Amino acid sequence: MLWRMASRSGSGSRSRGGGGGSGRRGGGSRAGGRAVGRRDDARWSSERVERQTPFALAEVVPEPERPWRRLLRLDGEDCSHVDLRDPTAIDFAYVRRFADLADVVAPPGAPLDVVHLGGGGFTLPRYVAATRPGSRSEIAEIDPELVELAREQLGLRTDRALRVRVADARAVMERRAPASADLVVLDAFHGTSVPEHLTTVEFLRAARRGLRPGGAFAANVIDSPPPQLARALAAGAQELFDAVAVVATRKVIRGRQGGNIVVLASAGGPLPLAELSRRALRGGVPELVVSGEELTRWLGGARALRDPVAPAQEAPPADGPPAASTARPPAAPVPPPDKLPG
């Protein structure tokens, strides 16, 4: 691999607002909080845990000196990081971008209805629960063993407000009632690739239908130069959403290296680009928010992906429209550096 699935965002982007704790530390004296911390230290093992799931070799790797901070690896790739003591502490930059969107999509503290397509380390559901009490999260995670591992090692606690569906992400999204979510987050992978049925216009239409007016969609894509899939997903979002932007490091935007690209879209009105940009720039590795004409140049004429055409529909009448292409779009040329943002 030439890049990690998730880069660390650095301490500069770590949030300490909102719920600020794991729920173990209730009200009480400072001394009482320290006592609870000592008990937690003794209980949380620093030993690595491995489990072969139906989909991947999963590893939970605690930090030796701070075992409550844990890394989740799948088939050797770093994919999630959790802090069992502080669910508002976020180490991976792409998760921080999701959290930024959750912070600004509604007034501070207001509860959200969130659909998480992909569970992984369940970092974002815990963050939303901590920062916006009363929120409801529905999480689609196809790997049942990963869900159990998260319960045992990564602080996952389910209840009526935080439900996990062991199911395909698109099936969960398509069953969702219309206009029932404030935020839809796509972070699902097979290896380092987003499953194709989660990248098409038809999938995006289901996500758009599930959002309330003013809601937002976010997706994490891992891409290499030229970022063909991220461009196709952003192009599909432009067909259905009111505003679209992408977020990544300067080198990734300029096509100089591969990495995480987060696609953001609004289901009504503009995205709060100024605030999102401010937050993205303050991380350990600053990131750029690209929108408007800069996004159009970055897309370079990329085409959206669509679901495969059923065999009975592959031969339209001679005078009818051509069948929709199901192939990946050709790689759009990377615009010259002086035409790219940053």
Q: How confident is the model at residue 331, as a pLDDT?
A: 42
- Domain-located, residue 141: yes
Number of structural domains, the chain? 1
- CB 150 within 8 Å of CB 60: no
138: its two tokens = 């529905």
- Domain-located, residue 90: yes
The mean per-residue pLDDT over the stretch 2-15 comes to 36
Instruction: Name the one residue in this structure whose structure tokens are 């590795």.
Output: 285
- Domain-located, residue 318: no
pLDDT tens digits, 186-234? 999 988 899 999 999 999 999 999 999 999 999 999 999 999 999 999 9
- Domain-located, residue 4: no
Q: How confident is the model at residue 92, as a pLDDT?
A: 96
Torsion angle defined by CA atoms of residues 33, 36, 40 and 41, in that order, rounded to the nearest 10 degrees: 70
Out of 41-50, 138-147, 291-300, 331-340, least confident range: 331-340
The domain that holds 37 is classified in CATH as: 3.40.50.150
- Domain-located, residue 70: yes
Helix (H, G, I), strand (E, B) or coil at 131: helix
Higher-scoring residue by pLDDT: 336, 82: 82
- pTM of the complete model: 0.81
Q: Annotate 141-186 with DSSP letters as a single string.
A: -S-HHHHHHHHHHS----BTTEEEE-S-HHHHHHHSPTT-EEEEEE
Q: How confident is the model at residue 313 (pLDDT cuts 50, 70, 90)?
A: low
> Is pLDDT above 60 for 145?
yes
> Is pLDDT above 70 for 179?
yes
Out of 9-13, 295-299, 317-321, least confident range: 9-13
Q: How confident is the model at residue 37, as a pLDDT?
A: 42
- Domain-located, residue 5: no
- Domain-located, residue 263: yes
CA distance 105 to 215: 7
The CA distances from residue 255 to 7, 104, 124, in Å, are: 17, 29, 28
Name 290's bridge partners.
246
- Domain-located, residue 314: no
| Domain hosting residue 58, numbered range | 11-26+33-307+323-339
